[in-house]
Structure 1
């Protein structure tokens, strides 16, 4: 299936500091593209992959599971590690959960992580109905484009494939169990008004990780897809400053090449 226009993956060869960005469930790289481009313009090496089953049509996602999505970002991280001296992992929503698992699994090979409205749990009755309902109902209404800013839209599916949603629920359970293994510096930004992931998920992440260098920022003007919302510039600037604090070569003479 052809990739939806705008949903293509993004890569940029920059300096010795790399950033891997992970998009959300039923979303696409488009939701993080401005963030990726902001970092690329400042000399960083950037990878923003398209997760399997995403960016085409929701039916394609029925055939994928969390293991597929995680394997993709794990591959991208390893590729960045081969050519960069330091690598950071960023994520939105489910992408935040992917970033947290990468941090838990790769330890010191990940220098820090930035998560925006990270998902931690499938909430409500849906969570209990999914194991059975997915065998009878193929999809449910979509969750894409929860954005406060007029005229800003996310490229994402208008339906949620229930087999994939069930797998997402299992993935969140796995990641929750691994959160104490996360020790890296972390910047967590979340929207008090989020119609997809409740603030409780961010609170849970903050309470479970073992990181001691943790910064929490509230995105008062944005909904779930904050990277395309009113607070986008703040996310970009805060995340770049976060990298600059932990990677001394960043920002020197306008490059991230260390020279």
Structure 2
């Protein structure tokens, strides 16, 4: 049995990776999981939350999948990409997918601006997705500085561990990402020890890469990587 763990990003939720998760579920019988990281619950607060709590929650979800499955894939988005990388460096998994990996710091102010722009785009064309952007934008506006500092500590602590990753890895980044610079993907590609590694950049995609216009092409590439 195959298990696939998805890890969302800072201030986000499983909605960030839900389109990819649904794409995988429609085409496989894999066991999927996407835990809500501490402080990211609906109506929750990031105040007083440590980055180690995010790591522990992801590690616990991985342990639970490993109890059910003998093959494990991990998909991480943004900060979730750093958490996924940490798991890959220290625990037994089979393949790793990193989407818009937050290897370098980003600005909460810039994140708020970009999400606002994305929300306006969605209002013009895809009303069914408004809930994601409304929730995301509201969460960012109320993010305490202490939580942003915890994110920075996570990146600073675990970025050097990328060199310990040896499993096959697929990395994707939007060239219009105003939150995490797309050089992050090149850095990961150059740093991991994996012999099998692929990096792709999508011309028209912003930070929320699973919700970009070209997401079906991206999902096909991720599926191909995981399924072969």
TM-score when scaled to structure 1?
A: 0.77
The answer to whether 1:39 aligns with 2:24 is: yes
In 2: Cα distance, 1:33 partner to 1:55 partner: 16
The secondary structure found in structure 2 opposite 1:113 is strand
1:124-175 CA-partner distances (Å, limit 9, x unpaired): xx7xxxxxxxxxxxxx647253749931543321323210111111110121
The answer to whether 1:158 aligns with 2:144 is: no
- Flag the 1:217–1:148 CA change in 2: closer, same or farther, 3 A: farther
The answer to whether 1:210 aligns with 2:193 is: yes
The secondary structure found in structure 2 opposite 1:19 is strand
Q: 143, 150, 155: which is aligned to 1:167?
A: 150
Work out whether residues 4 and 73 of structure 2, in 8 Å CA contact, stay in contact via their aligned partners in 1.
yes
Question: Unpaired runs of 5+ in structure 2?
Answer: 123-128
1:189-216 CA-partner distances (Å, limit 9, x unpaired): 1111111000122222122111110111
In 1: Cα distance, 2:6 partner to 2:118 partner: 19
Counterpart in the other structure of 1:228: 211
Counterpart in the other structure of 1:49: 35
In 1: Cα distance, 2:204 partner to 2:67 partner: 38
Select the structure of larger CA radius of gyration: 1
Work out whether residues 189 and 198 of structure 2, in 8 Å CA contact, stay in contact via their aligned partners in 1.
no
1:173-188 matches, within 5 Å, as 173-188=156-171
1:194-205 matches, within 5 Å, as 194-205=177-188
The secondary structure found in structure 2 opposite 1:158 is helix
Q: How many angstroms does 1:29 deviate by?
A: 0.6
The secondary structure found in structure 1 opposite 2:61 is helix
Moved over 6 A (4+): none
Higher helix share: 2
- Flag the 1:85–1:68 CA change in 2: closer, same or farther, 3 A: same
**Higher mean displacement: 226-235 or 150-159:** 150-159
In 2: Cα distance, 1:238 partner to 1:174 partner: 30
In 2: Cα distance, 1:80 partner to 1:26 partner: 24
**Higher mean displacement: 197-206 or 91-100:** 197-206
Q: How many angstroms does 1:41 deviate by?
A: 1.8
Work out whether residues 186 and 199 of structure 2, in 8 Å CA contact, stay in contact via their aligned partners in 1.
no
The number of aligned residues is 212
Q: How many angstroms does 1:57 deviate by?
A: 4.1
